[in-house]
């Protein structure tokens, strides 16, 4: 498995999802080695992680993770086909591909399939397939279209995505929403795409330090995510204004950081919401859990959201979720209120109903929980194993076998 | 002989600690926490670099140079912090205030707030609190007033006159003077009227800002050179040299020679036949018929707020972006509910949150004045200043509701 980030060095849901599926696959007996582009001493202990850090060669230049993979590509210096890397991040991706290829060469007898996640790992998967003939699955958690909301797919990042999917043996989408997008925006054959939903993250870190309770005196509505156009934080402010016009005591918390941070603070002040819309900054671990748990309503008004792992985390903590219809997570939370991201009137109505009607709220929470209980990482792992076997008949069902055959290159 | 009127401001705000959303309703310590007290650290640092050496120097000068006069004021939140962390600074201030013939203590509002612009009733309370504190700690009653950051309008002058003060200091702004001298006493355009003494920005800033600038054509500034500039002024002109006290030792470090310059200047000016030192009250409270004297003064008409800050000399350092406008609006909107709690801790926290520095830290006009703002900011960005302020504002709102 070619990874990019792992908790606690993650900048978003990708690391969380990779850790969840890797742990479930390993527990299920799959012999899984995971590469990461950095060195750390706090990898999850149940995983077999290999550092393919570019810093190991010169030794004096350690890059500190996480590497934010969520900045849209710059719109300059595009070439006809495979453009050259245009940023520090893209250079890192190229370096990483070389390091992973070196590792794959040395250990080529020990693996059958490559599992690659998002554009940052596609160059590595392509190189390995071209040189060693190993098949790979391209797992799409998030696309450049989601991040930039632009139809222009000529950037280096978009080309990594396109070529990565085109040359792959199988494309995995985290939702039907993403599958539709891959078909319509990237022109991928729908037959080549399987949908594998993420499992649900169980919060375990609170055993030692229980999440603190806070803001006891009034209802709390939470947004959590990168503060960027894709996630719709400006719609959250619009929603807050509409709700506060009717219930001025409600507290809105915006958790996260991103390119819209300053704009959102100015907009909050401009709407005269300074005492009701608070910004927590970027949170992780216990603080993240405390905020999701305290929320009376969690709102995810994303403009385009491939999955939306954080919504499942909120739901697991008994918080009712209002999600954008343009998200994958509504596929596994079908009974939660869902709206068009721009329909803040309807969302405001729903927030007030969830806060004012405890019976309705309880019903939403119960239904969410019932659906999530079926969505385990174990189930995700089983679906992945089935796909591995389709892609590479040589892949052993379980456990490591010694007499592996090299799979032939697929067309 | 031209008259030199020195005024020094001593002020330190209570900066906000890193109060998190998780602290909401769990903690009412907005200005320090158990592991860190930035306000104490800053106060002690500035006390060493500026308050102690400069107060000691001023004391030595008034004791040895009978012609030397000056004025100062301390915000109430400065006096509180000095009492807590550096009682010896209070002792030095007391020794100076004990020589009223040479040293005048001015009045201001206790919390260094913008209350004069938002709530005249609250402003009056803060001024009374300040006068009480100065009487109790320094043993004198201020007669002349200086508002936060020299912020002034006709309306502020009326409020100050109604509170019984005999005069007020503010900035001499060129566009309001329009070719008139800034070196004479004016009358406020208010009812009741009050005499106004103006700051001479250029000569003040030569010391406060330019003293150590090596790119300045007049660098290095010596006492002789500065005295020669004063000789350009006619008899009876009053030169208002108003500045932060921390000019001495903090904005201009000791190694720039600022202390030696000041001592040298005072000694040379005292023996110079052309220059006199005066205090504000001596110029604003003449003997004789006060009303007749006031009536013949030219008018300083200020309908829109002015201040001594930045190149604009207006309110833009504290109120030019939405972050500042809304947080100011929100904190003053709480007044009736806060006072109705009769809870002294809540009322005191609310007033500490009015201190103008909080809004100064939120200033985003990062052009020619930006470097000054960055130097004086307690946080790494104006957005961080606003973010913390909002969380504290929400917490205060809950405490008002529960009166806790």
Taking only the tens place, the pLDDT of each residue in B227-252 is 999 999 998 999 999 999 999 999 99
Q: B106 and B153 share a domain? A: yes
Mean pLDDT, rounded, of chain A: 88
Q: Enumerate the residues of chain B whose CB falls inside 8 A of the CB of residue A216.
A: 25
Taking only the tens place, the pLDDT of each residue in A261-272 is 999 999 999 999
pLDDT class of A8 with cuts at 50, 70, 90: confident
* pLDDT value of residue B177: 96
| CB of A57 less than 8 A from some CB of B | no
* pLDDT value of residue B373: 62
- Partnered with residue A75 across adjacent β-strands are none
The CA-based angle A305-A308-A314, given to 5 degrees, is: 145
Q: How far apart are CA A170 and CA A164, in angstroms?
A: 10
Taking each helix axis as running N to C, give the angle between helix B154-162 and helix B120-138, from 0 to 180 degrees, rounded to the nearest 10.
50
B95 in a structural domain: yes
B317 in a structural domain: no
Across A163-185, average pLDDT: 97
Q: B360 and B287 share a domain? A: no
Q: How far apart are CA B201 and CA B100, in angstroms?
A: 26
DSSP string, B238-265: EEEEEEEGGGEETTEEGGGTHHHHHHHH
Taking only the tens place, the pLDDT of each residue in B26-49 is 998 999 887 888 999 999 999 999
Catalytic residue (one of B80, B104, B108, B149): B149
Domain containing B166 equals: 3-300
Q: Enumerate the residues of chain A whose CB falls inside 8 A of the CB of residue B329.
A: 272
B278: left (phi over 0), alpha (psi -120 to 50) or beta: beta
Determine contact, residues A231/A262, Cβ cutoff 8 Å. no
Neighbours of A107 (CB within 10 A): 11
Q: A287 Cβ partners below 8 Å, 6+ apart?
A: A280, B20, B22
Using the structure block, give the residue that is written with the tokens 């206790």. Answer: B110
CATH label of the domain that carries residue B228: 3.20.110.20
* Three-state DSSP state, A22: helix
B27 in a structural domain: yes
Cα radius of gyration (chain B): 21
Domain parsing of chain A, residue ranges: 13-199+377-391, 220-374
pLDDT class of A56 with cuts at 50, 70, 90: very low
pLDDT class of A284 with cuts at 50, 70, 90: confident
Q: Enumerate the residues of chain B whose CB falls inside 8 A of the CB of residue A268.
A: 326, 390
Q: How far apart are CA B218 and CA B120, in angstroms?
A: 44
Rounded to the nearest angstrom, the minimum Cα separation between B355 and chain A is 17
Q: B284 and B342 share a domain? A: no
**CATH number of the structural domain A220-374:** 3.40.50.2000
Across B157-182, average pLDDT: 97
Q: How far apart are CA B199 and CA B241, in angstroms?
A: 6
Pull the structure tokens for residue B9.
């401001």
The Cα-based distances of B295 to A173, B191, B195 in angstroms read: 84, 12, 10
Q: How far apart are CA A36 and CA A23, in angstroms?
A: 15
* pLDDT value of residue A79: 37
The Cα-based distances of A43 to A6, A38, A192 in angstroms read: 7, 11, 33
List, in sequence order, every beta strand (DSSP E) within B186-237. Answer: 186-188, 195-199
Q: Which residue of B has its CA nearest to A211?
A: B22
Confidence check: pLDDT of A78 > 60:
no
Rounded to 5 degrees, φ, ψ at B339 are -65, -30
pLDDT: which is higher, B220 or A401: B220
Q: B241 and B326 share a domain? A: no
* pLDDT value of residue A211: 64
Across A364-371, average pLDDT: 94
Q: B229 and B374 share a domain? A: no
Taking only the tens place, the pLDDT of each residue in A354-363 is 999 999 999 9
Taking only the tens place, the pLDDT of each residue in B345-371 is 999 999 999 999 999 999 988 644 455
Q: Which of A141-155, A193-207, A321-335 has the highest mean pLDDT?
A: A321-335
Cα radius of gyration (chain A): 22
- Counted domains in chain B: 2
**CATH number of the structural domain A13-199+377-391:** 3.40.50.2000
pLDDT: which is higher, A74 or B4: B4
Confidence check: pLDDT of A303 > 60:
yes
Q: B250 and B170 share a domain? A: yes
- Out of A261, A269, A278, name the one closest to residue B326 (CB): A269
* pLDDT value of residue B300: 98
Q: How far apart are CA B27 and CA A34, in angstroms?
A: 44
Q: How far apart are CA B95 and CA B327, in angstroms?
A: 40
Q: A120 Cβ partners below 8 Å, 6+ apart?
A: A4, A37, A67, A69, A93, A96, A160
Taking only the tens place, the pLDDT of each residue in B276-335 is 999 999 999 999 999 999 999 999 999 999 999 988 999 999 999 999 999 999 999 999
Pull the structure tokens for residue B168.
């007020």
Q: DSSP assignment, residue A75?
A: S
Residue A21 C-alpha from the chain's centroid:
12
Q: B54 and B190 share a domain? A: yes
Global pTM value: 0.90
- ipTM, two decimals, is 0.93
Q: B353 and B237 share a domain? A: no
Residue B188 C-alpha from the chain's centroid:
20
* pLDDT value of residue A262: 94
* pLDDT value of residue A3: 95
B253 in a structural domain: yes
Q: B232 and B358 share a domain? A: no
pLDDT class of A76 with cuts at 50, 70, 90: very low
The Cα-based distances of A406 to A17, A97, A125, A168, A403 in angstroms read: 29, 21, 16, 17, 10
Determine what percent of chain B is predicted with pLDDT higher than 70: 97
> From the candidates B16, B19, B22, B388, which should be mutated to test the interface with A, based on the most A CB atoms within 10 A?
B22
B151 in a structural domain: yes
pLDDT class of B388 with cuts at 50, 70, 90: very high
Q: B285 and B332 share a domain? A: no
B12 in a structural domain: yes
pLDDT class of A84 with cuts at 50, 70, 90: low
Q: B140 and B270 share a domain? A: yes
* pLDDT value of residue B380: 79
């Amino acid at each position: 498995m070619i990874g990019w980030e792992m908790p606690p060095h993650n900048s978003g849901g990708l690391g969380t999802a990779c850790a969840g599926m890797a742990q479930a696959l390993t527990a299920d007996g799959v012999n899984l080695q995971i590469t990461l582009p950095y060195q750390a001493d706090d990898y999850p202990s149940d995983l077999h992680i290999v550092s393919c850090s570019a810093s190991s060669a010169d030794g004096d230049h350690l890059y500190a993770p996480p590497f934010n993979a969520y900045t849209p590509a710059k719109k300059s210096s595009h070439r006809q086909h495979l453009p050259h890397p245009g940023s520090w991040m893209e250079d890192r991706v190229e370096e990483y591909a070389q390091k992973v290829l070196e590792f794959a060469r040395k250990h080529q007898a020990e693996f059958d399939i490559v599992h690659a996640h998002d554009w940052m790992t596609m160059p590595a998967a392509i190189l390995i397939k071209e040189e060693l003939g190993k098949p790979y699955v391209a797992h799409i958690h998030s696309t450049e279209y989601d991040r930039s909301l632009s139809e222009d797919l000529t950037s280096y990042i978009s080309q990594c995505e396109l070529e990565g999917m085109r040359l792959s043996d199988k494309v995995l989408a985290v939702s039907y929403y993403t599958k539709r997008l891959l078909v319509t925006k990237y022109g991928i054959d729908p037959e080549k795409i399987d949908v594998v939903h993420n499992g649900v993250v169980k919060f375990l870190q609170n055993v030692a330090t229980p999440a603190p309770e806070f803001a006891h005196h009034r209802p709390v509505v939470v947004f959590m995510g990168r503060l960027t156009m894709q996630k719709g934080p400006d719609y959250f402010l619009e929603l807050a204004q509409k709700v506060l016009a009717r219930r001025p005591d409600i507290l809105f918390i915006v958790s996260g950081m991103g390119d819209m941070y300053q704009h959102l603070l100015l907009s909050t002040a401009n709407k005269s919401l300074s005492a009701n819309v608070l910004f927590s900054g970027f949170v992780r671990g216990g603080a993240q859990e405390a905020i999701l748990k305290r929320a009376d309503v969690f709102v995810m008004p994303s403009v385009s959201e491939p999955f939306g792992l954080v919504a499942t985390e909120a739901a697991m903590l008994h918080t009712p979720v209002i999600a954008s219809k343009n998200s994958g997570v509504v596929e596994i939370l079908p009974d939660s209120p869902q709206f068009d991201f721009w329909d803040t009137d309807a969302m405001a109505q729903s927030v007030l109903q969830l806060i004012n009607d405890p019976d309705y709220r309880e019903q939403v929470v119960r239904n969410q929980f019932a659906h999530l209980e079926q969505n385990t990482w174990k189930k995700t792992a089983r679906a992945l194993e089935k796909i591995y076997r389709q892609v590479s008949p040589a892949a052993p069902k379980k456990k490591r076998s010694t007499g592996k055959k090299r799979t032939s290159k697929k067309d | 002989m031209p008259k030199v009127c020195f005024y020094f401001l001593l002020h330190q705000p209570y900066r906000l600690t890193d109060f998190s959303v998780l602290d909401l309703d769990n903690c009412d310590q907005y200005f320090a926490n158990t592991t860190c007290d930035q306000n104490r650290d800053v106060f002690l640092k500035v006390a060493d670099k500026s308050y102690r050496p400069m107060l000691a120097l001023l004391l030595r000068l008034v004791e040895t140079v009978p012609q030397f006069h000056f004025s100062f004021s301390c915000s109430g939140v400065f006096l509180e912090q000095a009492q807590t962390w550096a009682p010896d600074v209070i002792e030095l201030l007391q020794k100076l205030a004990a020589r009223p013939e040479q040293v005048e203590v001015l009045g201001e509002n206790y919390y260094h707030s913008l209350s004069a612009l938002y709530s005249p009733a609250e402003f009056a309370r803060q001024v009374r609190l300040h006068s009480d504190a100065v009487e109790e700690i320094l043993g004198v009653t201020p007669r002349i007033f200086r508002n936060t950051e020299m912020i002034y309008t006709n309306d502020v002058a009326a409020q100050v006159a109604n509170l019984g003060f005999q005069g007020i200091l503010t900035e001499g702004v060129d566009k309001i003077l329009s070719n008139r001298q800034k070196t004479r006493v004016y009358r406020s355009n208010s009812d009741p009227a009050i005499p106004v003494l103006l700051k001479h920005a250029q000569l003040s800033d030569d010391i406060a800002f330019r003293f150590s600038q090596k790119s300045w054509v007049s660098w290095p500034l010596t006492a002789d050179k500065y005295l020669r500039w004063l000789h350009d002024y006619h008899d009876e002109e009053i030169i208002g040299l108003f500045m932060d006290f921390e000019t001495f030792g903090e904005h201009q470090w000791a190694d720039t020679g600022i202390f030696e310059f000041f001592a040298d200047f005072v000694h040379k000016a005292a023996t110079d036949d052309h220059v006199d030192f005066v205090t504000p009250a001596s110029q604003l409270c003449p003997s004789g018929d006060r009303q007749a004297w006031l009536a013949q003064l030219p008018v300083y008409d200020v309908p829109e707020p002015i201040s001594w800050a930045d190149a604009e000399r207006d309110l833009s350092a504290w109120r030019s972006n939405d972050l500042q406008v809304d947080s100011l609006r929100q904190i003053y909107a709480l007044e009736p509910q806060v006072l109705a709690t009769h809870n002294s801790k809540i009322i005191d926290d609310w007033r500490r949150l009015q201190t103008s520095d909080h809004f100064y830290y939120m200033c985003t006009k990062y052009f020619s004045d930006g470097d000054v703002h960055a130097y004086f900011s307690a946080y790494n960005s104006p957005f961080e200043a606003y973010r913390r302020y909002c969380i504290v504002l929400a917490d205060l709102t809950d405490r008002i509701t529960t009166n806790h």
